[in-house]
Amino acid sequence: MLQFKNGDKSCEFDKNEIILHDVIKSLGLDNKKIIAAKFNGELMDLSRCVNSGGEVEAVSADSPEGLEILRHSTAHLMAQAILRLYPGSHFGVGPAIKDGFYYDVDAAGTITENDLPKIEAEMRKIAGAGEKVSREDMPKDEALKFFAEDPYKTELISEIDAPTVSVYKQGEYADLCRGPHVPDASKIHNFKLLSIAGAYWRGSEKNKMLTRIYGTAFANPDELKAYIKMLEEAKLRDHRKLGKDLDLFSLHEEGPGFPFFHPKGMAVMNTLIDFWRREHNKRGYTEIKTPQILDRELWIRSGHWDHYRENMYFTEIDEKPYAIKPMNCPGSILVYKTQLRSYRDLPMRLTELGCVHRHERSGVLHGLMRVRCFTQDDAHTYIEPTKIKEEVTAIMELDKYFYTNVFGFKYSVELSTRPEDSMGTDEQWEAAENALKDALESTNTPYTINPGDGAFYGPKIDFHLEDCIGRTWQCGTIQLDFQMPGRFGVTYIGEDGAEHTPVMIHRVVFGSVERFMGILIEHYAGAFPYWLAPVQVKIIPIADNHVDYAKKLQETFFNWGLRVEVDTRSEKLGKKIRDAQLQKVPYMLVVGDKEQAENKVGVRERSKGDLGSMTLDEFKNVLDNEFNPLKSR
């Protein structure tokens, strides 16, 4: 007798084994959206047989777990379609990812983006036929024979430390996979193939380049339509295109992953940094600067050598090994240790706009979002253990001011716990994780747990910003570190006159200034708010005889602290205005005979249009009413 429960529902079968779909049906949980099941907490196919009773849950395609299964199954559907269209193709890995899926294909032929509609059509044909999906647990040696012609699957199977492997089949296609999957392809309706990229097998440049095909799938058509619309909007906001159009930065083959900032881009970056410095000075932070290159022994002592060296660059000076810094924390510690510190000196908040270098594979580089060199807006705070909650709360308030009050982002918070590759004792990690939980819960901050994704030296709180088209970006982080101070012998003299080890908090707000700037470009679609715009005012003389007056105005506005340009080109007025609009300048001032005679300006605002003629004092009043976090308050 097998007994099953779901909440207050139950059923029983006079059998030794039964498939989960029959259990779901008997519990009254079956409907068209159900694509998998949970048995005693484990995700399984609906067709799986169980030989003991327990808790059973239905997994719907529109649930987070169900959506991941749906997308993974759509990747398999795509692979089957490719195999039909390109017989002899082999497949690498094809996981579900955030917002979709991909599959790496060693295609028997060339697949381009022009071929995606053809592959999609074949996928719909297979789905319409309701191709069944089945699972088979094969002995490892049998699986090696089954996939003997596939070098990718045989490589993966040979590395699996288990007597059996699971294989999923649908029609002529089979894959090595843990599952679970949809029961048949008819469950897959709302999907779209999106793009193609190159990807080295297993991420190594020593291996063959495969074709990576990206796609997405949703449980209902409206969600798919909304996602496709968001992608179209994202293309219009692509910071790489806008960066070029607005003359902010450029990327060059001579320095892949190392962006070049132009004068207008530097105006935006320097304004961000001015704002950052102002707010940190007000909150008791003091700024330092540490070297780019430091002795390799320092990185061994900090733990980066054991946990991070594959992301670091190295060099030699006088036959001695050095590392180019990927992080600023060891340098901050050396500054702290230059003097004997007392509990009266704590909290000591040391900030650094440090230029760091990290090795990234060429295939993942992406504009300003993924680079090899960036400015990290670090702070390392040294505190007494009893002050953790107070300090973390203050940092969270700073983050909220930056993200919501100034830049208008919504955000969510995530607590990442101990990873497998970590330093320290269980007791230290438990204390650190509980301290961060206490700070979050005492401020009624909603958060989710991200198990195992903490830094190697401590747990962290991450801030995920949501931009105006619904995408999320991980930016700020607060990392609690009980490890590094002890490894470096960092101490302070306590109130009791004895030496104590402080807790170290690593935190960033922007994260990478360059990446944050890229996020802002896309968030604002290049139309930066007035205070941040690279050119705040464009003066447009109607004719050549108005240029001198325009330049006098420019000097006045410079003295007001504005970033201002004069368009001295011999072009028609309409073209000058259109060009200024395309450059997304907040204010355009048209000056002709009348304005020159009356010492006025004709004001146009980029979204409101013509605001009429104004005296300089009237225009200054308009600007003074603009939001500007750099103004005194």
Residues with catalytic function: 329, 358, 376, 378, 380, 460, 506
Q: What is the DSSP letter of 74?
A: H
Residue 405: Cβ within 10 Å count: 11
Helix and strand numbers (H, E) in the chain are: 19, 35
Q: For residue 215, which of 127, 112, 99 has the smallest C-alpha distance?
A: 99
Length of the chain equals 633
- Asked whether 525 and 241 are in contact (CB, 8 A), the reply is no
Specify the 3-state DSSP secondary structure of 249. strand
Q: For residue 519, which of 367, 358, 334 has the smallest C-alpha distance?
A: 367
What's the rounded Cα separation, in Å, for the pair 379 and 368? 22
- Asked whether 379 and 349 are in contact (CB, 8 A), the reply is yes
Cα–Cα distance list, 513 to 222, 241, 374, 477, 532 (Å): 36, 19, 7, 14, 14
Residue 608: Cβ within 10 Å count: 8
Q: For helices 388-400 and 426-442, what crossing angle results, to 10°? A: 50
Specify the 3-state DSSP secondary structure of 383. strand
Residue with tokens 């906001």: 237
Radius of gyration, alpha carbons of the chain: 30
What's the one-letter identity of residue 631? K
Phi, then psi, of 449 in degrees rounded to 5:
-95, 130
Show the beta-strand stretches assigned E in 292-333: 293-295, 313-317, 320-324
For residue 212, what are the β-bridge partners? 104, 197
- Asked whether 35 and 59 are in contact (CB, 8 A), the reply is yes
What's the rounded Cα separation, in Å, for the pair 115 and 101? 18
User: Would you state the structure tokens that stand for residue 609, as one six-digit string?
Assistant: 């249009």
What's the one-letter identity of residue 270? N
Question: How far is Cα of residue 571 from the mean position of the Cα atoms in its chain?
Answer: 43
Q: What is the DSSP letter of 406?
A: I
Residue 597: Cβ within 10 Å count: 9
